[in-house]
Chain A
């Protein structure tokens, strides 16, 4: 027997379910990633960063870098400390990366997976450009407090083939990022914390912590300070400028 009441209830339930599911379906992962990029930092900025590498025995090694970024894919980072690394400069222009060492006196090409500091952070972490410039959003999943973005590298030149990014729903800032190799191996996990107001409308995590199953017991921390919007001429992001980057700071 056809039960009209039951039929109407079923239809209503289906409608409610569809309405609930609508915001998740409407989530545009690419738009979210764009917002994450801009909430993390302005497209062009300068900042100071401290890297702390902690070894299994608790001993630490600290580095300080001055960073300038222009547009979506130009980054230069100057080591200010420790004295053994002072004056080293790394430059990234898209997929190209170079390292300048004062004693060597010229820039050599380096790769994104290397680490110039011996840190769990590699060169692509230290000279990170916009996530949206390197990754496409493959899937978007909504959880209770977070949106989970599954990202796939646009080319084989990118350090991590896939990222799984947990984004804070309210702030649209990353909370945790898992970095995977093409084989599916988890290379490292990045954890953002300590949200701080840097002024100029920039409110973002001031601390990034990472560890890796490949380097058990080691941990690296990156802390931001003096992050502000800035504009730079293109000339600063060239090999000839690397010995003079220290002079560009205000």
Chain B
């Protein structure tokens, strides 16, 4: 009994020795068999996000979106997101899918949404050929915040460019070959996008099978893409992009797109809308620079060919003011309905202006803490000089857990892009757990 009691007293030592042994074994043993390809894979993440908005009560978009509602200075929103991904393999074919479900709650509403982001079956009969059909999110272009040649994708949010986006139902293939010499790679991607009242209805006018294609070349260390979308649900467009490293830590990129015969609606301050049809050219020039101390700088200039000039935007904001004055003075909502309809169209895009500057600086391992990153992002409407600044902190040091804290400060006078947005400030924090 005495012996057993003595042994019991030694248990921490036994534990330590066992733990030490386990660690030693762990340090020099890695068996890859657990990671071999499986016929079925499943994963995803769950995210909890809290957003606090300071509402811009004098802003045109706040006033339009809150007509007849109790007026508020702030709004707190909680969002739970579950994103699931799965993959099923058999022979030369693979089916993969991802879904996104959100549950959102703030002082004004409760909302939930379930979307299939991607669900596509692909076959690869030879190394150089892949055919695919289903819902897929194709992302074309080299720009970080904007992609003028993103012809068959949903609009990117420049405030969170790395966020996954819902795709469209498409059929596409990839033909790849390596000619050798200076032209190292050639890849051709033809795409078909059907649009009907049930399929891809938000792509554009229904009743079209829209053809599109991208040709990629790796020529003398320069990535070059040529992209094209045929006339159909959207006006025809074509464009190109490039990206290359001038030095190992200095990359430049650019995009150029020409949209043919696009219809453009411009209002004046009285609500008279002029519709014009013409060609529009958008382009983007950008750079990415990494310093020896691991600071990455990204800068981009974006010319939005379909955007509104400062004067055109001012006319719209004047219309909103006139509409509210008319409502107050006469009780008539005719102009207000017109302004509301325009705000839900191209005037209400995230970036409706014509010239934007984007700048981001991010510091890896901030304060010497590995996986701790600080970043600051600024976006400016170059014509009216309004801007937003977004400082953020993120930490990914705990396996599979991502924590991010972000502030958004919008600044601009009356009748300016960022001065008329619905929010003047935003605080965001989220925790995302991957499994």
Q: Interface residues, chain A, CB within 8 Å of chain B?
A: 48, 50, 52-53, 55, 59, 61-62, 64, 66, 80-84, 86, 93-96, 101-106, 108-109, 111-115, 118, 156-159, 194, 206-207, 215, 218, 221, 223-226, 233-236, 238-241, 244, 246-247, 249-250
Contact = CB atoms under 8 A, between A and B. Distances in A.
A59 B369 CA distance: 13
B370 A55 contact: yes
A84 B36 CA distance: 18
Contacts of B401: 84
Contacts of B244: 109
Contacts of B223: 109, 239
A215 B35 CA distance: 30
A113 B248 contact: yes
User: A82, A105, A225, A233 — which one has the most chain B CB atoms within 10 A of its CB?
Assistant: A105
Given A118-B364, A247-B89, A156 B124 contact: no
A84 B139 CA distance: 21
A239 B216 contact: yes
B58 interface: no
17 contacts: A61-B399, A82-B434, A83-B400, A84-B45, A84-B400, A93-B218, A102-B164, A105-B139, A106-B140, A115-B364, A118-B371, A156-B248, A206-B30, A218-B370, A221-B27, A225-B31, A240-B216
Contacts of B163: 103
Contact of A101 (B28, B162, B435): B162
B157 interface: no
Given A55-B397, A247-B124, A113 B245 contact: no
A109 B251 contact: yes
A84 B402 contact: yes
User: B127, B244, B401 — which one has the most chain A CB atoms within 10 A of its CB?
Assistant: B127
B115 to A, nearest CB: 15
B399 A96 contact: no
B176 interface: yes
Contacts of A244: 94, 122, 124, 130
Interface of B: 27-32, 35-37, 43, 45, 85, 87, 89, 94, 122, 124, 127-128, 130, 137-142, 144, 161-165, 174, 176-178, 184-185, 187, 189, 216, 218, 221, 223, 243-245, 247-249, 251, 288, 290, 292, 294, 364-365, 370-371, 396-397, 399-402, 434-435
B205 to A, nearest CB: 26
Contacts of A234: 178
Nearest to B153: A105
Given A104-B162, A226-B32, 13 more contacts: A50-B30, A61-B371, A66-B35, A86-B43, A101-B162, A111-B248, A113-B290, A115-B364, A156-B248, A157-B247, A235-B128, A249-B36, A249-B37
A186 B94 CA distance: 47
A96 B28 CA distance: 32
A84 B245 contact: no
B364 A240 contact: no
Contacts of B396: 84, 118
A96 B221 contact: yes
Contacts of B218: 93, 96, 238-239
A129 to B, nearest CB: 14
A50 B288 CA distance: 30
A197 B331 CA distance: 86
B43 A238 contact: no
B290 A111 contact: yes
Contact of B247 (A156, A226, A233): A156
A233 B401 CA distance: 37
Contact of A48 (B32, B161, B370): B32
Given A84-B400, A194-B28, A226-B32, A240 B245 contact: no
Return the 5 tightest CB-CB contacts between A and B, nearest first.
Answer: A48-B32, A105-B139, A225-B32, A234-B178, A84-B434
Nearest to A159: B248
Contacts of B370: 53, 55, 118, 215, 218
A56 B399 CA distance: 16
Contacts of B142: 108
A4 B52 CA distance: 100
A61 B397 contact: yes
A248 to B, nearest CB: 9
Nearest to A183: B292
A238 B185 contact: yes
Nearest to B37: A249
B185 to A, nearest CB: 5
Contact of B249 (A61, A104, A113): A113
Nearest to B249: A111
A83 B43 contact: yes
Contacts of A104: 139, 161-162
A114 B162 contact: no
Contacts of B162: 101, 103-104
A240 B35 contact: no
A100 to B, nearest CB: 10
Contact of B94 (A115, A215, A233, A247): A247
